[in-house]
Structure 1
């Protein structure tokens, strides 16, 4: 209940409500981008500082391999479920698989903030795990979609390069490396900016995300109730798999829960950009609405508070 009633979650709910009642409340696009830049830089920087203190460990290696394995494998059950149960064609099923195998940076940031507010620490190297999980799933999803056509879409290498150059991932990894080099001593002068202001900036950013998600949900025409149910089921199933793997490889409860949050999230930034380039015949609104307007609100309002409470009980 504490996580569910935290200011960040409530600001997201406020934005969602404002969009659904068609309020004129809005966050200027430039400000929304600035908030996102701050959050990506802050989470990457703090993760790098933590790893500089703990060093590169066997736990980091295991977590990286686990994240990479999840990213490569999760698109397959997502593809099968929306193909068989959601009754989508192969091209659209592959696009959805790319979204649900990849990860949402904002969901991760929100989850880490909730876990830390509940007194559970998340290992800094989870930022590196996040970066590892972004691109492989998108490539697997594209491969699944392109099997539907005898003519392969050109340039998988080009799509991978585009994904790896995605601004959010570049900023996260760059911030992580800066924190790794600077260490605790170098971080201390900027701590008030990147740590003290983090909670307030997250509230404003989630207000904006609530507005965006609500507008997509209000305008969802191609997403059937069956696909809405699958979008929630995939978040729950993938999150449970991530949690079990995190516990099995010996991660602490905070980090195992962070892996569950990553596995249960769905991309709505990098994956849509790659799909738009690689699969122009696919309606981008369908997988984007599933990931942004259904799975993202479900994760923020239900899954993250529930996982935080579960992690607290296990700890």
Structure 2
């Protein structure tokens, strides 16, 4: 299968609905997803991903491969902000560099869901334990970003020390954030309930997933379209970073997956996890913890550029490279 056929096969409804959202913004349509429905769709996706991961983990059990995946996810999420910070601080303030670095060390659950749907459409199997790895990647990135900011700002300028909205508070938020708690909780429920839960939740978890994902992607397209406009107020450096980050870190993820003998499906998901960026949990955490950071640049970067790149070009590109190397 060549690259062009992969891209063509990737044009499934969820991606097309994302583009529909972008087009709606460009033509100034009044199309919108009500906020409460958008929130429900977010909750459903996290629930679905967690339950499926728990069910797969129930069938596969814990072995050395599961432990390796979890360690890679935790270490990668913690180290990526350190690597990105030293690039970002050349052009951004310490506060902005730390916030952006944390955002890019974390993950996008919707990008993961889109990659999972893509693999299913290609008939490629992957381990449910990858969801467990994803659930572990939110907190380390937030912690790393805060450590970097605390290390580099002057003591008299620190606004995150010994405050309710400071380091202690954000540690709590990073571990008990609603999205993280729902994802981890659903994973545990799927694992504990086993075959009984799999049977009872099958219609809700499996059969309507792609429809829900398509509606959510429509909302993401609308949101991304609005955020893209904000990039006009940012410099070329920000745009270039958000565009170059996915393929560079993606290649690192591919090399790491190859060295650790991942399966094709697991390698694609590991690469996507490392090459994506958060646009929900981390920006919200940074907004509370680092009030001096310019929050207006986070969503346009992570959602407007990086997310859009990954679901349209990145995922099929990673799959093409991995499939070529693994065969």
Q: Which of the five TM-score ranges fits, normalised by the shorter chain?
A: over 0.9
- 1:166 is displaced (CA, Å) by 1.6
Asked if 1:289 corresponds to 2:295, the answer is no
Give the corresponding residue for 1:90.
94
- Structure 1's 145 and 258: CA in aligned 2 closer, same or farther, altered over 3 A? same
Q: SS where residue 219 of structure 1 aligns?
A: helix
Tell me whether 1:78 sits opposite 2:84 in the alignment: yes
8 A contact 1:103–1:134 mirrored in 2: yes
Separation in 2, partners of 1:312, 1:192: 32
Please say which of residues 270-279 and 145-154 is displaced more in the overlay.
145-154
Quote the residue 1:39 is aligned against.
45
Q: CA deviation at 1:276?
A: 0.8
Q: 1:148 aligned to 148, 153, 174, which one?
A: 153
Work out which of the residue numbers 166, 190, 205 in structure 2 matches 1:179: 190
Task: Tell me which moved more, 206-215 or 20-29.
Answer: 20-29
Alignment of 1:114-129 (within 5 A): 114-129=118-133
| TM-score, L = length of structure 2 | 0.92
Q: Deviations over 1:243-294 (max 9, x none)?
A: 2212222221101110100000001111111111111111101122111111
Cα offset, 1:233, TM superposition:
1.0
Aligned position for 2:275:
264
Match of 2:320 among 291, 303, 309: 309
CA contact (8 A) 1:94 1:141 kept: yes
In structure 1, what is the equivalent of residue 31 of structure 2?
Answer: 25
Is the Cα–Cα contact under 8 Å of residues 99 and 271 in structure 1 kept in the other structure? yes
* 2:28 aligned counterpart, secondary structure: coil
Aligned Cα root-mean-square deviation (Å)? 1.5
Could you list the per-position Cα deviations for residues 135-157 of structure 1 after superposition, in whole angstroms to 9, with x for gaps in the alignment? 11111112222322314412322
Deviates more, 1:300-309 or 1:43-52: 300-309
Could you tell me how far apart the structure 1 residues matched to 2:175 and 2:253 are?
23
Q: What is the CA–CA distance in structure 1 between the aligned matches of 2:143 and 2:105, rounded to whole Å?
A: 10
Match of 1:101 in 2: 105
State the Cα deviation string for residues 43-83 of structure 1 (Å, max 9, x = none). Answer: 10011011111111110000111111111111122112222
Q: Does the 8 Å CA contact 1:239/1:264 hold for their aligned counterparts?
A: yes
The number of residues matched between the two structures is: 313
Structure 1 runs of 4+ with >6 Å offset: none
TM superposition shift of 1:189: 2.3
Distance 1:242 1:223 in 2: 29
Query: What is the CA-CA distance between 1:312 and the residue it aligns to?
Result: 4.0
Distance (whole Å) between structure 1 residues aligned to residue 212 and residue 129 of structure 2 = 23
SS at match of 2:224: helix
Unpaired segments of 5 or more residues in structure 1?
none
Q: 1:248 to 1:202 in 2, by over 3 A?
A: same
Q: Does 1:203 align with 2:214?
A: yes
Asked whether the equivalents of residues 78 and 234 of structure 1 are also in contact (C-alpha less than 8 Å), the reply is no
- Partners of 2:31 and 2:320 lie apart in 1 by 32
